[in-house]
Structure 1
Amino acid sequence: MSARREFAETLATGLASYGPAAFIEFDRKWFSGNDIAAYRATLDDALDRAGVRPGEPVGVVVRNRLPHAAALLNFISSGRPVVMVYSYQSPTAIAADVQRLRLAAVLADPEDWTDPVVAAARGTGSAAISLTSATVDTLHARGAAISDPVLAEAGIHVLTSGTTGAPKRIPIPTAVLAHTVLSMTHGHQLFADDPPDLVFWPFGSIGVCQLLAAPFVGKRMVLLEKFTVAEWVRAVRTYRLTRTAVQPAIVRMLLDADVDPADLSSLQCVVGGSGPLERELREEFERRFGIPVLWAYGATEFAGSICAWTPDLRARWGAEKLDSSGRALPGVEVRIVDADSGREMPTSAVGLLEARVEVMGPHWQRTTDLASIDSDGFITLHGRADGAINRGGFKVLPETVRRALLAHPAVLDACVVGVPDRLLGDVPFAAVELRHGAPAPTEDELKALVRDTLPSHHVPVAVAIGTLPRNAAMKVKPADVAAWYRPR
């Protein structure tokens, strides 16, 4: 049996196994496997009546809601190609996406079926399907839409998080999804009698594979439409979760909210990724809650994580390698190369990270992340090469300045970006978000902190204080931070 067919069948079998038992909790209500199956059947009937044939690609304007979860599970388990459309954008931008994709059908929440989006679907001949928790409504049937043949390949076409520009659509074939699901758990084996996983990652990015992981291994799932400390803690406390996933922003929010450690006492570990986590923040979290943090590194382009910490690695190496993102996962090779020559770099040298994921083919994929690999195979990230600021010929890595700012006890998070300067070309500008109730430092105090830690060309030209702008994946948006800058 092909890997593509094997994954789809495993997922379909997992979905069928729930029956009348609880499957997904959403909005504090449990839905059974039969509830989800009934919704999927209604969806298939609506597509059939709208003239959409089996196997034709469809698009979903994704939201973290039950109908969208049911639709995604339905399409992937049946082998229908599904294309993700970013919901956190303007109606005009969604309409442009629909017009460009020319899919057999587009499915969206009623709030996303604005006049421009309806007009775009009608104009391209895409069937328009409206999803609510109770019904599946056909706004209009399929016309003469002819989509790009690439989009007709089975699997998911997912969106990157869009922190460094417009989100990019990356195809992940069905045959690759087993690797993706495993990498989402950082190589941990999950068992059906474990408490449910907690899932809240936006479906618009690689987080859709958190959704697939539950039926793939037969687990229940708690689905949050968006992250809030109160709802996250409620789920952990109520269902005695033993493991769940976090992001850097969530680690900071939990610490800032002064959560009672007793509420999280069931957690044996938290796993995370989607951005760097500073050693100081990890240590603060572990001191406060007594829960090991197992970090990872990956990207949508790699169909998941490529390296991670596991409990065994943590037990052996945790005391001495916590700045790293762990070792390469099974089926993944990594190396460091020189940015100009492409030559492989020696052990511990800093260069561009490349990875080769076995199920994705024999080719090495180059990232724009600076990294090093030590003699024990642990990978440490050093920032993004494409984000380097050239200040009059002096290179400034934003992550280096950010780490200096995070050393201030009042700073919860920070972002450093390059902004134009008439004389120097680019200069660093910083924005910081403060801990709740912390005395606000002055701009001069924050600049002095950087000046005392780093060479003078790293000192930001200005430091703003406020709530950092984030996207749906809770990552800070550098472009929006740069818009805060006002030349003096």
Structure 2
Amino acid sequence: MTRSFTDEFAAGLASYGGRPCIEFEGRWYTGDEVAAYGDAIARALRDAGVPDDAPVGLVVRNRLPHAAAIIGFLAAGRTVSMIYSFQSPEAVARDVETLALAAVVADVEDWTAPVVDAARRAGSAGVAIDLRTPPVAALMSRDPGRTHARAEPGVALQILTSGTTGPPKRQSIPTPVLQRTVFSVTSGETAPADAPPELAYWQFGGIGVCQLIAGIFNGRRIVMLERFSVDGYVAAVRDHRITRSGVQPAVIRMLLDADVAKEDLASLEFLISASGPLDPETRDEFESRYGIPIVLAYGATEFAGSLCAWTPDLRQQFGAAKRNSVGRALPDVQLRIVDPDTGAHLAAGEQGLLEAKVAPIGPDWIRTTDIASIDTDGFVYLHGRADGAINRGGFKILPETVRRVLISHPAVRDACVVGVPDGRLGQVPFAAIEVAPGHPVPSDDDLADLVRRSLPVYNVPVAFTVVDELPRNPALKVSLPAVAALYRAR
């Protein structure tokens, strides 16, 4: 009889036993310890009157208790819906109330007054987790008189996009699809028990959780960082002899700017650059300085992992000739390029919108907002985005979303937000503001705080400028290049 993903994942967790499973803040936690922490959370939920099959929310951080919570939920077949922790308390509270879940699990520091009040209004049970306090403490019980969200049939996770088409959306990932998540992270490769650990630092609230899932499923040791820092990343690679790592393009630039010693990265056989375009100059500089090849990859939250990959055989045969490609489609993926206006299938080499059909997800073609081409050998090349999103170090920002927040300020008549180049993050948002007549000019701090209260912090523009009138083209549309020029003129 074929075992379900949940059964196989639970078996992967059980396989660690007393062996090291996750390293966090310099300490290895065994599989037994990770499982026990997840069990403690499950007991707290039961004590709070939460049914075992009810979905729960997790205000997620890359910390050991949160990883243990995710692992425990998946091993038990409980649906978990992610809530970004790097939002303002008011934004977290809005998510808690909107989701109307039977329970919310969060770090002690994230149980702020607005979040507690929101959970009370929703009738949700609240569980606090923190390594520095008793493992789990129920803050409140579920209100049995309230109707709470039910689990979608077969859904294991609701993870968050980085907001390409607006504020981050929750993408439901069915349990069977997690099997392809594991495959897409590993490209089907297995590793011996004594292989170096996996390095996990991408945010678990989104696509970064795939690495945690794949690691546990395959019984691999995992070194976990709460957030990226050059020192933390380099120490992990050096001390654990990491052989490969997925990184955002901004990370490559930061390693170069920090002038990391070549010997500290010597164990790396290659890096996988994903989550945004990597400029050729940065790639060439890194490969020349460190002798570590960089391969490009492509995936998305809605596909629960990668769509394309470079296998060792492909790297050996085509690596030099097609180094700017993100690889070929994985075995369970079909890709095509279509005309954005007519939907007509385009020939090899022509640029258009990329569409994908992923067998475990369903029979439909899913259209992306990425402009791409596919050559006659089936290799995929990305050429930008069709939606004008700003890619800030891997986080996607929709300018119109930020503009709507800014013009909600009573002193702002109109605004325009554009992406401007940044040597470390690739792009950052910049805003030009028209002030409404009769109003004082709002301060940069006031405008930044307005955005911060409404959207995840990465949406906050790096600078603001006030103009009498926004520059417009003959069609009376704001000229984006002219607005960008205002930033360069500051």
- State the TM-score bracket (shorter-chain normalisation): 0.7 to 0.9
Which residue number in structure 1 is paired with residue 117 of structure 2? 119
Which residue number in structure 1 is paired with residue 48 of structure 2? 50
| Residue 19, structure 1, aligned to residue 17, structure 2 | yes
Question: Deviation at 1:310?
Answer: 2.3
Question: Deviation at 1:303?
Answer: 1.0
Question: Deviation at 1:284?
Answer: 1.7
Which residue number in structure 2 is paired with residue 301 of structure 1? 302
Which residue number in structure 1 is paired with residue 102 of structure 2? 104
Which residue number in structure 2 is paired with residue 64 of structure 1? 62
Question: Secondary structure at the residue paired with 1:84?
Answer: strand
Correspondences of 1:174-213 after superposition (within 5 Å): 174-213=175-214
| Residue 433, structure 1, aligned to residue 422, structure 2 | yes
State the one-letter code of the partner of 2:190. Q
Question: Deviation at 1:91?
Answer: 1.0
Which residue number in structure 2 is paired with residue 241 of structure 1? 242
- Deviation readout 1:253-272 (Å, 9 max, x if unpaired): 11111111111111111223
Q: Distance in 1 between matches of 2:418 and 2:69?
A: 43
Runs of 4+ in 1 over 6 A off after TM superposition: 415-420, 425-428
Which residue number in structure 1 is paired with residue 139 of structure 2? 139
Question: Deviation at 1:485?
Answer: 4.8
Question: Secondary structure at the residue paired with 1:360?
Answer: coil
Q: Distance in 1 between matches of 2:35 and 2:236?
A: 24
Q: Distance in 2 between matches of 1:358 and 1:146?
A: 35
Q: Distance in 1 between matches of 2:415 and 2:348?
A: 32
Correspondences of 1:178-327 after superposition (within 5 Å): 178-327=179-328
Q: Distance in 2 between matches of 1:192 and 1:176?
A: 25
TM-score for the superposition, normalised by structure 1: 0.81
Q: Distance in 2 between matches of 1:315 and 1:426?
A: 50
Structure-2 change in CA distance of 1:81 and 1:263 (3 Å): same
Structure-2 change in CA distance of 1:431 and 1:340 (3 Å): closer
Partners of 2:244 and 2:269 within 8 A in 1: yes
Match of 1:32 among 30, 33, 39: 30
Question: Deviation at 1:331?
Answer: 0.3
Q: Distance in 2 between matches of 1:147 and 1:354?
A: 36
Q: Distance in 2 between matches of 1:85 and 1:280?
A: 36
Question: Deviation at 1:148?
Answer: 3.7
Q: Distance in 1 between matches of 2:352 and 2:417?
A: 22
TM-score for the superposition, normalised by structure 2: 0.80
Question: Secondary structure at the residue paired with 1:359?
Answer: coil
Structure 2's unaligned 5+ residue stretches are 404-413, 425-451, 468-485
Does 349-358 or 290-299 show the bigger shift? 290-299
State the one-letter code of the partner of 1:162. G
Q: Distance in 2 between matches of 1:148 and 1:291?
A: 48
Question: Deviation at 1:52?
Answer: 0.9
Structure-2 change in CA distance of 1:152 and 1:132 (3 Å): farther
Structure-2 change in CA distance of 1:294 and 1:286 (3 Å): same
Q: Distance in 2 between matches of 1:313 and 1:426?
A: 47
Question: Deviation at 1:317?
Answer: 1.2
Partners of 1:296 and 1:307 within 8 A in 2: yes
Partners of 1:8 and 1:174 within 8 A in 2: yes
Partners of 1:84 and 1:204 within 8 A in 2: yes
Structure-2 change in CA distance of 1:429 and 1:129 (3 Å): closer
Report how many residues are paired.
Answer: 421
Question: Deviation at 1:342?
Answer: 0.7
Which residue number in structure 1 is paired with residue 432 of structure 2? none
Q: Distance in 2 between matches of 1:196 and 1:226?
A: 17
Partners of 2:309 and 2:329 within 8 A in 1: yes
Does 109-118 or 276-285 show the bigger shift? 276-285
State the one-letter code of the partner of 1:54. D
Partners of 2:80 and 2:157 within 8 A in 1: yes
Partners of 2:106 and 2:129 within 8 A in 1: yes
| Residue 374, structure 1, aligned to residue 375, structure 2 | yes
Question: Deviation at 1:136?
Answer: 0.3
Question: Secondary structure at the residue paired with 1:191?
Answer: coil
Structure-2 change in CA distance of 1:189 and 1:485 (3 Å): farther
Partners of 1:58 and 1:83 within 8 A in 2: yes
State the one-letter code of the partner of 2:142. R
Partners of 1:429 and 1:482 within 8 A in 2: no
Partners of 2:349 and 2:373 within 8 A in 1: yes
Question: Secondary structure at the residue paired with 1:386?
Answer: coil
Question: Secondary structure at the residue paired with 1:387?
Answer: coil
Structure-2 change in CA distance of 1:127 and 1:416 (3 Å): closer
Partners of 2:370 and 2:386 within 8 A in 1: yes
State the one-letter code of the partner of 2:12. G
Q: Distance in 1 between matches of 2:399 and 2:462?
A: 6
Question: Secondary structure at the residue paired with 2:464?
Answer: coil
Which residue number in structure 2 is paired with residue 455 of structure 1? none
Question: Secondary structure at the residue paired with 1:222?
Answer: strand
Which residue number in structure 1 is paired with residue 448 of structure 2? none
**TM-align CA RMSD:** 2.7
Structure-2 change in CA distance of 1:430 and 1:486 (3 Å): farther
- Deviation readout 1:295-339 (Å, 9 max, x if unpaired): 211110111110122222121112221221111011000000011
Identity %: 52
Question: Secondary structure at the residue paired with 1:107?
Answer: strand
Partners of 2:60 and 2:85 within 8 A in 1: yes
Q: Distance in 2 between matches of 1:101 and 1:198?
A: 31
Q: Distance in 2 between matches of 1:138 and 1:417?
A: 40
Question: Secondary structure at the residue paired with 2:4?
Answer: helix
Q: Distance in 2 between matches of 1:159 and 1:147?
A: 20
Q: Distance in 2 between matches of 1:328 and 1:236?
A: 29
Question: Secondary structure at the residue paired with 1:139?
Answer: strand
Question: Deviation at 1:126?
Answer: 0.9
Structure 1's unaligned 5+ residue stretches are 389-397, 403-414, 436-470
Which residue number in structure 1 is paired with residue 471 of structure 2? none
